[in-house]
Structures are given as C-alpha cells and as structure tokens.
C-alpha cells in the first residue's frame, strides 16, 4: 500500500499553532517516505462548520508550503458512513441506547461516588425488544454506541510512545451517532482512514484513548467492508505548551493570520515546528528537504513541547538575513535593488522593516544637534568627500589623516549626519546608495546648524 498520511481539521475556526504542527509533521512524514498527504475536512458538524474556515485552512497550508495530494469532505460522505454503520450493526458491533443526557450524568456521578471509573454500564444491551419499542413509542429516539470487545487487551506499537496496552473493559463503549442521526468523530474518522487507504496516523497524545477504541473499529470495519485495508500505524506526539511551561489558551488562538501580521516568514514557522519537541536542534533551516530528510519519529520526546515566541523571532531574523534578493524583490519598496537589499538586510528582523531603513537612503532624515567641534568636522567632511569605488573608506581615511580622529569620534558624527541614526547598515555599503550629491548636502546641512 502507498504510504499515506492525513490532516483532518474541523472547519469551526482558524488553524492554530498546534494544528499547524500536526499538519506539518504528517506532511513531512509522507514526503520522507515518498507517500501521499491528504487533507480531510471534518465538517460533519453542520451548525459550527463554516466555508470561510475551509478556505482559510487551504490558504494557510498553501502559505506554509504544505502541498496536498488530495482532499475529501466528510459532509459529502454520509452514504459511506451509513453503509459502514449498517454493516457494523448487522455484525452486532453497534447497539441502540435510550438514556437521556441527565440519566447518563447521574450514572457517572454514582460510579464516581463509589470509586468506580465512570464508564457506560451497557444497560441498553439488556433491553428487550418490548423495552425498546416502549421507548420509541414515547418518542425517544436512540443514540448509538460501538460495542467494544472485552476478550483481550488492545495493544499497538506507538511510533512515539512505544508499546501501548489498554483494557477495553475500562473504556466506555463510545457513542458514534446521536439521536438526531448526526455523526460523532470516532466512526467516520475510522471509515475515512479505511476508505482512503491511510497507512499512518500521527496526532496529539490527547487522542491515545481514542486510538485504543478506533483500533477495534478498524478491526471490525476491515472484517466487514475493507478486507484489503490494514490497521494504520499510530504515533502520538506530546502537546504544545507555552514558554511558561503550562498549557496556554493563547496557543489556541495563535495562527497564520497572527504570524503574517507580525511579519513572521513561513520558513521560520516550519523550521521551529519541524523539530519542536524532538532531540534535534531547532535551527534556521530554509531548505524544506533538509528538514524532511532529518525528520525522525524516534527523536520525539514524551515531555510537552514548548513553543517560545522569542525563539520564533530569532529564527525569523536569521532566515531574513540570508534571503536572496530575487526571492523577496517583489515585497520590497520601490527603488531597492540588490545592493540596497544587501546593505539593509543585516538590520532587519522582518522584511516589512525594509521600508523604514530605505528611508535613510531616500530621505528626508532627522539629524541630531551637533556641538561646534563636530560641525567644523562635518564641514571638512563635506569638502573632503570624493567619489569612487569605495567613497566611505576613502572619506574616513582622509579625515583620520587630517584631524587625528579615530574610533567613535571619527565615525559617529558622519553616520549621524548621513543617516540621522546612531546605528544601522554598514556605511561602506550604504553611502554609495545615498549617492554623492545627497551625501554632500546632508554633510553641509549638519555643518550649517
């Protein structure tokens, strides 16, 4: 079977950083193994799902450079789920239940009060046909549960967590369909994985108990409908936490829109999330293939993965400093050529800061007030300025010879007069961009204060 992973978001909101990490890791896992990466829109919740979020999911994945090999919509697959439902019901793996939400909550409270795990007691299995008929005569529609097989433990070799073992008798038979006929997550997800040939499922550790239940669903579905399919290989990665070391609500709202507004490059997000939570170093790697080639589930740790904004900013800055002009020319202010980009690039943390630094070249600038001795020095500089291949070093060498100045007294007044700032791009690169006429005018203006 073709190695196949999937990302299955619900379009009830925008992707957040945890979703992005899951999508990225599944994409990398597929690409490393020469396989397929599928997008499945889990939109069975008609009330909360929004088409605008579906479009946003596609847009965000594209912006991040995560390409997909196929897309499915659960809302268009109800006939497939119905067929699976009927097959499992005929084989005795699905049964009707008539308890109300209040009755189930009371049962849970009683069990907890007795020190017992709050799992469903399977009372519905003891109902007779007459009992069920009586409930339906009262207008009570059933909800439906998947019947777990208690005969033997549920075991699998997890790609991150290692050997896993669950006692099915300690798990509730999961509700798979509501009384109104709508679907819950568990069964449609397993049906889709079978139907789409998913071979590997990588998701958060909060799904571990779901996996135990779904392994039995896979076994039942394969026996009833999908004899050529195999149970997928599962891996559960640690969840993200904030830099403060605890789960952060902010992580649930931090998405691509927020990153774009801050000027974060997609390469920085990918470089951080690709290795976050692994034993591999987080580095400013722009080459996706390098990240894919080194992606290895065996390097993933069990401890929560800490998402640090400061680390993301550091990566972004490092990547911006190495970006080629041809790649970002269309995002730069008019007038910046390759030499201009090369001059200002080391001073940027975000590309959109280029306009502010470019104003140093184009002007106008705000010069500080200079003391008398510096005004005389700048007047001499205006007279000394000559143009050639390296005007900055020629000017400073001549002024050092003429005045005896060196270090800060030699360089700082010139930078302040020419740029209006105490720091900034290398003046050797910047002065040719300012140009001879503009440079002389600035020096003369500073001297005439």
Asked if residue 30 has a cis previous peptide bond (ω within 30° of 0), the answer is no
Cβ atoms of 433 and 361 within 8 Å: the answer is yes
SS3 content of the chain, % helix, strand, coil (to 5): 50, 10, 35
- 154-158 and 162-166: which strand pairing? antiparallel
Kindly list the distances between the CA atom of residue 58 and the CA atoms of 28, 67, 192, 229, 446, in Å, as whole numbers in the listed order: 17, 9, 20, 28, 54
Cβ atoms of 420 and 446 within 8 Å: the answer is no
> Taking CA 385 as the corner, what is the angle to CA 363 and CA 419, rounded to the nearest 5 degrees?
25
Kindly list the distances between the CA atom of residue 81 and the CA atoms of 48, 358, 422, in Å, as whole numbers in the listed order: 20, 59, 67
Six-digit token pair at 130? Answer: 């007459």
Cβ atoms of 144 and 106 within 8 Å: the answer is no
CA atoms within 13 A on the CB side of 216: 25
Residue whose tokens read 């003046």 = 427
Q: Does 246 show up as a binding residue in the annotation?
A: no
For residues 398 and 392, what is the distance between their CA atoms, to the nearest angstrom? 10
- 233-237 and 240-242: which strand pairing? unpaired
For residues 20 and 200, what is the distance between their CA atoms, to the nearest angstrom? 18
Of the candidates 165, 170, 217, which has an alpha carbon nearest to the alpha carbon of residue 191?
217
- 36-41 and 4-7: which strand pairing? parallel
Residues annotated within a binding site for ATP: 249
Known binding residues: 249
């Amino acid at each position: 079977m073709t190695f196949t992973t999937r990302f299955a978001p619900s379009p009830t909101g925008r992707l957040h950083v945890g979703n992005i990490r899951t999508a990225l890791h599944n994409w990398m896992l597929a690409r490393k193994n020469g396989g397929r990466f599928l997008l499945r829109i889990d939109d069975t919740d008609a009330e909360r799902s929004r088409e605008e979020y579906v479009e946003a999911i596609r847009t965000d994945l594209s912006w991040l450079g995560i390409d997909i090999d196929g897309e499915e919509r659960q809302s268009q697959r109800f006939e497939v789920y119905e067929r699976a439902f009927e097959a499992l019901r005929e084989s005795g793996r699905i049964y009707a239940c008539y308890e109300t939400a209040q009755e189930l909550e009371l049962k849970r409270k009683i069990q907890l009060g007795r020190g017992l795990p709050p799992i469903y007691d399977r009372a519905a299995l003891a109902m007779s046909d007459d009992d069920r008929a009586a409930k339906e005569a009262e207008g009570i529609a059933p909800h439906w549960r998947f019947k777990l097989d208690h005969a033997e433990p549920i075991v699998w070799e997890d790609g991150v967590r290692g050997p896993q073992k669950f006692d099915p008798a300690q798990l509730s038979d999961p509700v798979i369909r509501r009384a109104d006929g709508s679907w819950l997550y568990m069964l449609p997800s397993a049906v889709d994985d079978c139907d789409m040939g998913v071979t590997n499922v990588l998701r958060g550790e909060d799904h571990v108990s779901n996996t135990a239940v779904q392994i039995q669903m896979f076994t039942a579905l394969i026996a009833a409908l999908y004899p050529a399919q195999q149970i997928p290989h599962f891996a559960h990665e640690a969840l993200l936490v904030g830099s403060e070391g605890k789960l952060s609500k902010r992580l649930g709202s931090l998405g691509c829109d927020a990153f774009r507004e801050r000027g974060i490059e997609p390469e920085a997000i990918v470089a951080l999330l690709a290795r976050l939570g692994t034993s591999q170093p987080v580095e400013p790697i722009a080459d996706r293939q390098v990240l894919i080639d080194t992606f290895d589930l065996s390097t993933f740790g069990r401890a929560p993965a800490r998402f640090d904004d400061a680390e993301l900013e550091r990566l972004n800055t490092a990547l911006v400093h190495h970006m080629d002009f041809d790649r970002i020319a269309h995002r730069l202010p008019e007038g910046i050529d390759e030499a201009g980009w090369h001059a200002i690039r080391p001073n940027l943390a975000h590309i959109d800061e280029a306009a502010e630094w470019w104003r140093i070249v184009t002007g106008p600038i705000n010069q500080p007030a200079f003391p008398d001795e510096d005004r005389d020095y700048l007047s001499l500089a205006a007279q000394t300025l000559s143009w050639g291949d390296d005007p900055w070093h020629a000017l400073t060498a001549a002024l050092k010879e003429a005045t005896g100045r060196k270090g800060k007294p030699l360089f700082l007044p010139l930078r302040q007069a020419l740029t209006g700032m105490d720091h900034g791009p290398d003046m050797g690169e910047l002065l040719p961009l300012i140009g001879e006429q503009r440079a002389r005018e600035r020096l003369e203006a500073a001297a005439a204060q």
